Structure 1
Amino acid sequence: MENIKPLIEITRTKLKQASLLWADGFREACCLHRVIVLCHRSRQLLIRTGQCFLLNGFIFLGSLFVLNSVVIPILQWILPDEFSQIGCEEMSEFHGVLKFYSLRGFLIQLFYVFWFYPLYVFSFILSNLWYNDIAKHGFAAMGRSGPSVVESSKQNDALTSHSKVHAARPAGLGGIMIGIGEQVYSVLLLNFFFLEVYATGFIPYVGKALNFLLLSWMYAYYCFEYKWNFSELGLDKRLDFFETNWAFFAGFGSPCVLAIFFFSPLVSYGVMAILFPLFVLTATGTDAEQVISTQRRRWSCAGLGKLPVFYVVDTLLMRVLSLFSLESQEQVQDNKTL
């Protein structure tokens, strides 16, 4: 029992630290007043944000509302499901009419195929282009230029590697190629991570909770990635900082997930397409390093430590890329032999 008590005390302390950092992240994500301040500073930012609201809120979600509240009820009234009030003799007389009534589901599917799915693709592509513009204008409105410095407390081992680190890259073509390579790897990493998030949803009992946690991390990373790109922070430093402060980012991503977790897929997309640029701007205005270091200065013991959030997908992605590398080497050798 004496050996267990210190372990219980350490666990309790770690849980308290994680809860405080999670709460800090959640609070920072909810500071949506920063969006108003940034939009007031930049007219271009206000226009782009308004366009996102118009496309995804008024047009996309508005179309869903019209379909569910107007079109489907009218079709149900004109082409009802049940004909219990019709007798057998009448049923035979109206056999041709019943075939016509069965077209209701087909008409609804046509509505999806020729309106919602094309609108979804159009909205997805255009919104992603606008998100980058929104992040760029928001970053400019913050008055930040050049590589940012990731500040940390020297007394804390978890943040020592980030203390006053400039994300410097080689100048010229080499730096451009490194930047492109990091962007490609980051996109692949997040796609693999999305597959992991999707797979956890099928795990019995704990699947929903794991899915919520991983989605929170994924959206938090998406929100901060724009700022890190404009700050020219290297991919290795991003991942290290993210995994070192996993509790803060889990808290930051939680409001994003709560907004969509209980809706249908199409409604969830529309809601998230509206809210995502707001959270991107909130992340742009968040000094995460300062918030985390302020919280950690209050701790007399060691920090939470690093949690390898991306370890599984990073390992899997490296193996997949190594397979492509081996295939390319074999092709080169075959060409040489020929």
Structure 2
Amino acid sequence: MASTSPPITTTTIAKLKQGSLLWCYGFKEACCLHRVVILCYRSRDLLIRTGQCSLFNGFIFLGSVSILKLFLFPMLQWLLPDQCPHIVYEEVCRYGVILSLYSSLRKLLIQLIYLLWFYPLYVFSVILSSIWYNDVAKHGFVAMGKDKPPAAVMTGEKEASITQTGSDKPAGLGGIMIGIGEQVYSALLLSFFFLEVIATGFIPYAGKALNFLLLSWMYAYYCFEYKWNLSGVTLDRRLDFFESNWAFFAGFGSPCVLAIFFFPPLESYAVMATLFPLFVLTATGSDADNLVTSPRKQWLGAGLGRVPIFCGADTVSMKVLSFLPLRQQLHNQGEKAL
């Protein structure tokens, strides 16, 4: 007897439509690069910081990689060939001594180029970009013409008084300690999630697709994290909002990943470091809180449900934090403040 597959219900179709629509909205929001032009026009400081990111990562870093691939590698291959180009040296080349020496010398020179130029340049880029990205987000906030972004959707109507202040953290030492704890936990969470992203790349068949999806979520979270940090939204609320609107953020992160997915690691970092400030600004200017819950999508159903994207990374992070004395101190300070 042939097995019958379960019928596709109206609810399933509605959820598929809702997920597809939210994904398209997220993709569209990420591609609204005209916001970058408008914000840079409003703020000279923002224009300078964005220009510095593009100049260093795009012109110096990516330009160096291009010179290496297009000119230095072919030149070294011509000067130190793998095959003997002249008939005169056929007898010597027959033993492969010179060719082996050429190959070893060429590899040594390439490693020296990476060691003396690209690796220090990469470290320098990571440090500078981390500072510049934060400045880009801050200047973008100022250029938006408002001190704090709306957070009503993330904090809930019952905490409207907290939302009006722009932060849902307690004041004083308790708030500081909670903030430190959130930063430590957030760093661990994203680090372990990044390891998950790398691990999925080794899964046969479905690994590439899963890796693309996780990368999209990761870059979307990075882009919106600056906005949420500046608005004072606590980590648990932003994670809940992110996982509850996973389709939107998967769409938002897709253009980021498409720009780097098919490049080798060094080139992909250079491209991402150049484009990332632009996506940070599109996230800063995005009204995602209202977009994902707008009334025109109510016909699609009550919602897609929450997907525990960071569940694995959260479990490992909490396990690591359990060995740190800082966790109990933060917990005690938080209870006192509350």
Shorter-chain TM band: 0.7 to 0.9
Partner of 1:291: 291
Partner of 1:308: 308
Structure 1: state its 5+ residue gaps.
Answer: 153-158, 330-338
Q: Deviations over 1:121-145 (max 9, x none)?
A: 1011111110001011001111221
User: For structure 1, which segment, 294-303 or 139-148, has the greater mean C-alpha deviation from structure 2 after superposition?
Assistant: 294-303
* In structure 1, distance between residues paired with 2:30 and 2:122: 26
- 1:200-215 pair list within 5 angstroms: 200-215=200-215
**Closer, same or farther: CA 258–173 of 1 in aligned 2, 3 Å:** same
Measured after TM superposition, the shift of residue 173 of structure 1 is 1.7
* In structure 2, distance between residues paired with 1:288 and 1:66: 40
May I ask how many residue pairs the two structures share in their alignment?
322
* In structure 2, distance between residues paired with 1:289 and 1:199: 31
**Closer, same or farther: CA 99–11 of 1 in aligned 2, 3 Å:** same
User: For structure 1, which segment, 224-233 or 315-324, has the greater mean C-alpha deviation from structure 2 after superposition?
Assistant: 315-324
SS at match of 1:298: helix
- Give the CA RMSD over aligned residues: 2.8
Partner of 1:132: 134
Matched letter for residue 313 of structure 2: V
Check conservation: 1:162, 1:237, Cα contact below 8 A.
no
Measured after TM superposition, the shift of residue 40 of structure 1 is 0.5
- 1:193-204 pair list within 5 angstroms: 193-204=193-204
Question: What is the TM-score when the length of structure 2 is the normalising length?
Answer: 0.87
Matched letter for residue 49 of structure 2: R
* In structure 2, distance between residues paired with 1:197 and 1:93: 46
Check conservation: 2:148, 2:231, Cα contact below 8 A.
yes
Structure 2: state its 5+ residue gaps.
Answer: 330-338
Q: Percent identity?
A: 63
Partner of 1:27: 28
User: For structure 1, which segment, 295-304 or 104-113, has the greater mean C-alpha deviation from structure 2 after superposition?
Assistant: 295-304
Matched letter for residue 234 of structure 1: T
- 1:59-138 pair list within 5 angstroms: 59-83=60-84, 85-86=86-87, 89-91=91-93, 95=97, 99-100=101-102, 102-138=104-140
- 1:144-159 pair list within 5 angstroms: 144-146=146-148, 148-151=150-153
Measured after TM superposition, the shift of residue 324 of structure 1 is 3.9
- 1:186-265 pair list within 5 angstroms: 186-265=186-265
**Closer, same or farther: CA 214–92 of 1 in aligned 2, 3 Å:** closer
Question: What is the TM-score when the length of structure 1 is the normalising length?
Answer: 0.87
Matched letter for residue 270 of structure 1: A
* In structure 2, distance between residues paired with 1:137 and 1:327: 33
SS at match of 1:281: helix
**Closer, same or farther: CA 294–88 of 1 in aligned 2, 3 Å:** same
User: For structure 1, which segment, 139-148 or 37-46, has the greater mean C-alpha deviation from structure 2 after superposition?
Assistant: 139-148
Q: Deviations over 1:249-306 (max 9, x none)?
A: 0000000000000000000000000110000000000000111111664326321111
Matched letter for residue 64 of structure 2: S
